[in-house]
Chains A and B, each alone.
Chain A
Amino acid sequence: MSTAIDKTANTRINTLRWLIRRELWEHKGAFIWAPLLVAAILVLLIGGGGLYAAASTGSFNFQVGEHQVVAINGIPPNLRAQLAGVAASSYLALSAPLFLVLPVVAFFYCLAALHDDRRDRSILFWKSLPLSDADTVLSKVIVALLVAPLVVIGIGIAASLVLLAIGLVAAAVNNINLVLPVLSDYRLYLSPLYLLAFLPLYIIWALPTVGWLLLVSSWARSKVFLWAVGLPLAALAILSWFDFLVGRFSGMSLHAKWIGEEVLARFLGGLMPGIWFGELDTAAMRQMEGGLDTVMLLRLSYSTLSSPAVWIAAVAGCAMIYGAVRLRRWRDEG
């Protein structure tokens, strides 16, 4: 009997693999070309600009920390070590703009995911194949929460390495050889792993948003964006108005502010990488010197999981994903 179970498990994973491939065929532009384009622009602007500056002025402006702007033309060894440390530990920060592309792409992907095939009626084709609604929705959750971030992380690491290499060459042109100290800094190799280590946290924080967007996508007959964004904002506006009026005459409050921050932000903003920084003790972050202390950042970030609100929101996200599956199963597409 166990072989039979293995077989169904295998076919299920196989089906999921095809469903995920299907999503990438459909959204290749958003998930692959958009981040690649942004990465190319980053490399051209930052890398090209840096090279141009290095070649034309023969001097190099480095910014270390917040105020220390130094023009360098042969520098003392301790500064050189510090520069190498910053480069090796923080080079991934150069890919930050890519992580602004991710939430935009993922947001609109989730909104369209269960709506587009209902609009063009191709859902009737997908439903004529042995694909369960649960697997279909699950494949979209996996794409939004795992595949898309992994692609962006991969492209981000590659772009950052290219920029780091350009920076090292530019520095070498100016007689500052940082290649060896950077290559021998263990943080150069650990940084990508640290970046990956944020992914589970990102998934937990993004679950409520993905759930909400998929639910609306599965439910709305049209104007998905309006429903997904307008409905919560309108609800918040009504609550705030109520609070404003009633709060003047009595002590009663519907806690509009709390709902706005705790519920709305999680439902609409969860796909933004680093949304959890809002809950961090920023004082600790300001004390970082000698580049980004990623380990401390990771530890602080994961400490947000001690708040039950994060978990309640994640469970609500899963419940909404389940709701999206049910709606897709029974919605009459006419």
Chain B
Amino acid sequence: MNAVVSARGLTKRYGKQVAVDGIDFEIAAGRIVGLIGPNGSGKTTTLKAALGLIPFEGELTVLGYDPRTQRDALMQEVCFIADVAILPRWLRVKDAIDFVAGVHPRFNRAKAERYIANTRLQPEMKVKQMSKGMIVQLHLALVMAIDARLLVLDEPTLGLDIIYRKGFYQNLLEDYFDEAKTIIITTHQVEEVEHILTDLLFIRDGKIALSASMEEIGERYVEVMVSGDKIAAANALQPIDQRTVFGKSVMLFDAKRVGGVAREQLAALGEVRNPSVADLFVATMKGTYA
């Protein structure tokens, strides 16, 4: 496998605090990976290490480059949004397009202008005159027009309304993504991205809590709406999470767990379905805030 990102024992310490604790992972080309974790879990630190923004320990290669020593070469092929609404206040829309077109060999000007035509942005407008949502729209228009081999999006749609968010992910999938590209997304609005993700990477306390493709997850995790009379039987099968919806118990089972259960066995307990990423996340992160 030709990994786009490959980490071995990646560690980042801030003083005595360990932000990322010796993690290993690989991300293959042509995947859309959701890097998901609570605040302070180390996901942004991991991304910053991969983008050569901070020094770190351990091994990490991105597109075959070491982000510490080969960042300039790496940035020819990688693009990222590390934070939204951070464009400088004096920048004009037309200058921003001119600038990126001037310095980025993979920038498609027509594409950026097309994205901008779909917004209320005007060429003469300065960032300081824009609403937060408009700044994000400009930033996304610039980045989406760059034909990067790896695109890293850290909370890309923060501050956008739901219509634009949906449209953005639609564009990302249909217009931007292809099998030669790789996208890493972190977001708190997991429900909005789960249908476009191909892989999940849960991170907790600086460690990888779960790393799997969406197919594996569909096979492995099962959610059951347990009918009232079978709760005791269901509890005996050791669900990894349990909640109540409209008086009914919803239990989450891990088929790979030691002594795990088969789907058919669970079907006898009640209605069986695939859990949402958000529910899976909550179950995996249990106790994080305790």
Contact = CB atoms under 8 A, between A and B. Distances in A.
A4 to B, nearest CB: 14
A263 to B, nearest CB: 32
Contacts of A26: 88, 90
Contact of A25 (B76, B79, B90): B90
A66 interface: no
Nearest to A128: B80
B48 interface: yes
Contacts of B99: 18, 21-22
Interface in A55-95: none
B216 interface: no
Interface stretch (B101-109, B180-188, B224-232, B257-265): B101-109
Interface string A129-141: 1111000000000
A224 to B, nearest CB: 17
Nearest to A132: B72
A125 B76 contact: no
A261 interface: no
Most buried by B among A11, A19, A120, A124: A124
Contacts of B158: none
Interface string B13-57: 000000000000000000000000000000000001001011100
Given A18-B102, A25-B95, A332-B48, A128 B81 contact: yes
Interface in B238-274: none
A332 B54 contact: yes
Nearest to B102: A18
A127 interface: yes
B100 A129 contact: yes
A222 interface: no
Interface in A226-243: none
B86 A121 contact: yes
A131 B81 CA distance: 15
B77 to A, nearest CB: 9
B143 interface: yes
Interface residues of A, number: 27
B90 A130 contact: no
Contacts of A329: 71
A21 B88 CA distance: 15
A230 to B, nearest CB: 27
Contact of A122 (B86, B92, B143): B86
Contacts of A14: 102-103
A128 B82 contact: yes
Nearest to A131: B103
Counting contact residues on chain B (CB < 8 A from A), the size range is 20 to 34
Contacts of A116: 88
B53 A11 contact: no
Contacts of A25: 90-92, 95
A125 B79 CA distance: 10
A333 B48 CA distance: 10
Contacts of B102: 14-15, 17-18, 21
Given A25-B92, A128-B81, A333 B103 contact: no
A127 B80 CA distance: 9
A330 B86 contact: no
B63 to A, nearest CB: 13
A52 B143 CA distance: 59
A15 B102 CA distance: 7
A117 interface: yes
A217 to B, nearest CB: 16
A6 to B, nearest CB: 15
Contact of A130 (B48, B72, B89, B92): B72
Contact of A128 (B76, B79, B91, B92): B79
Nearest to A123: B86
B83 interface: yes
A333 B47 CA distance: 13
Given A15-B102, A125-B139, 10 more contacts: A25-B91, A26-B90, A120-B88, A124-B86, A127-B53, A129-B79, A130-B75, A132-B72, A330-B55, A332-B48
9 contacts: A26-B90, A122-B86, A122-B87, A122-B88, A125-B87, A127-B82, A128-B80, A130-B76, A332-B54
